[in-house]
């Protein structure tokens, strides 16, 4: 099956026999450009705070009695990464407001690469072609769900996104472009990469790598998701339904980096607080520092909770039940199978190293979602989502 021709806006450049670049035009975000004010505002806050924080130690280090005080000077310069982050957020917001970003897709020997150009700055990610099993074109804009009513809200409905998916991992190739531009591009990529994986195939053969479409907010589950070989999750089917036991992972593996980062944060706050208190600052500075201590202690408690909790999930009779047994409390949630809208893997709302922390999500037709297992790998989350979808589907189908 021959793919349709690419839109003229997409440039195709063959750098060599094994490297092909697909360059998309600068995206037109329309009214969605207003979201650029968010990173600008946050970036201004970080920048002003870091300038205020750095000015004291640097000034004291340069103008102290007896020459340069190197400890204070170096301590003040430690704020440069934070200052750079704040300025970077401001630049990102300006790029969004100016429609000055675009996507590039590079197919090279054994890999497919996504390059997001934020002004002059390229951000590059890649996946092995051998691990790729489908492309997903998500149309219908950016969809969010109201936590109280379950109603869906759509922003920028004219935009779509192209994703390359492997088991448990998603590579965003071209977000925020018109569907009419991305669908033929997905067909061309699927056809060409299918030939790369199976050289004996012909251009008229059915693509080995499929292309599926999804409306905004809808789940597009894979046909079969295998159980990860290294998982310690216990999944048992019984005459009454399905029982899943997810044991704790431990502080380092189970906290997804939160434990180590919280130790670094709180250690930094110890040094910072000692240096500040020696200068006898005014009361507002103490209150300001206490906010950062609250963040550090909160992250430490979150890390311990993630690492030490045990999760039990059961599909039995007409109910789906979840019990989370943590070090601080135990919570249990139940939902009727008829009220389950979808079960998928989605962002939890938290980030680690600027990457969204994914979780297993059970989304009802009305009410708040149930989010679980953010400390587990993407492969385990995708497998459990598939297993639970099949269990719920089987129960609903057998119901008289």
Q: Sign of dihedral through CA atoms 195, 201, 205, 211?
A: negative
Output the pLDDT for position 200: 44
The residue-averaged pLDDT of 141-152 equals: 56
Residue range 254-281, pLDDT digits in tens: 676 778 888 888 888 888 777 777 666 6
Residue 76 has pLDDT above 80, yes or no: no
Q: What contacts 229, CB < 8 A, 6 or more positions away?
A: none
Task: Return the closest-CA partner of residue 178 out of 293, 20, 32, 354.
Answer: 32
The verdict on pTM exceeding 0.85 is no
Distances (CA, A) of 223 to 71, 197, 213, 235, 383: 60, 20, 14, 19, 11
Q: What contacts 198, CB < 8 A, 6 or more positions away?
A: 205, 208
Output the pLDDT for position 399: 53
Q: Give the residue extent of every domain in the chain.
A: 11-29+99-215, 34-97, 234-248+309-398, 253-303
Output the pLDDT for position 327: 84
11-29+99-215 sits in which CATH class?
mainly beta
CATH number of 234-248+309-398: 2.30.29
Residue 140 has pLDDT above 50, yes or no: yes
State how far Cα 12 lies from the chain centre.
Answer: 29
Establish whether domains 11-29+99-215 and 234-248+309-398 are of one fold.
yes
């Amino acid at each position: 099956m021959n793919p349709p021709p690419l839109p003229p806006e997409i440039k195709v450049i063959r750098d060599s026999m094994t490297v092909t670049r697909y360059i998309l035009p600068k995206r037109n975000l329309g009214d969605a450009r207003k979201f650029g004010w968010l990173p600008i505002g946050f970036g201004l806050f970080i920048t002003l705070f870091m300038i205020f924080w750095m000015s004291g130690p640097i000034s004291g280090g340069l103008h102290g009695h007896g020459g340069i005080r190197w400890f204070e000077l170096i301590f003040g310069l430690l704020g440069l990464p934070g200052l750079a982050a704040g300025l970077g957020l401001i630049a990102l917001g300006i790029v969004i407001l100016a429609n000055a970003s675009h996507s590039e897709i590079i197919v090279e020997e054994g890999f497919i690469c996504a390059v997001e150009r934020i002004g002059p700055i390229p951000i590059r990610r890649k996946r092995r072609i051998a691990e790729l099993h489908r492309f997903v074109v998500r149309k219908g804009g950016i969809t969010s769900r109201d936590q109280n009513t379950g109603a869906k809200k759509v922003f920028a409905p004219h935009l779509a996104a192209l994703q390359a998916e492997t088991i448990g991992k998603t590579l965003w190739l071209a977000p925020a472009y018109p569907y009419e531009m991305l669908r033929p591009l997905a067909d061309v990529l699927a056809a060409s990469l299918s030939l790369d994986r199976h050289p004996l195939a012909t251009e008229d053969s059915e693509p080995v790598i499929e292309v599926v479409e999804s409306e905004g907010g809808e789940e597009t589950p894979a046909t079969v998701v295998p159980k990860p070989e290294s998982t310690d999750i216990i999944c048992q089917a019984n005459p009454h339904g399905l029982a899943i036991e997810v044991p704790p992972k431990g502080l380092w593996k189970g906290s997804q980096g939160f434990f180590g980062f919280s130790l670094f944060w709180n250690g930094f706050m110890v040094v910072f607080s000692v240096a500040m208190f020696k200068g006898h600052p005014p009361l507002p500075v103490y209150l300001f520092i206490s906010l950062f201590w609250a963040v550090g202690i909160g992250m430490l408690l979150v890390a311990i909770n993630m690492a030490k909790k045990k999760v039990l999930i059961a599909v039995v009779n007409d109910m789906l039940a979840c019990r989370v047994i943590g070090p601080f409390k135990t919570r249990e949630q139940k939902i009727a199978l008829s009220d389950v809208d979808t079960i998928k893997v989605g962002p939890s709302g938290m980030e680690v190293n600027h990457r969204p922390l994914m979780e297993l999500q059970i989304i009802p037709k009305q009410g708040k979602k149930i989010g679980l297992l953010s400390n587990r790998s993407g492969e385990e989350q995708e497998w459990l989502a598939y297993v639970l979808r099949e269990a719920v589907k089987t129960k609903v189908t057998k119901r008289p």
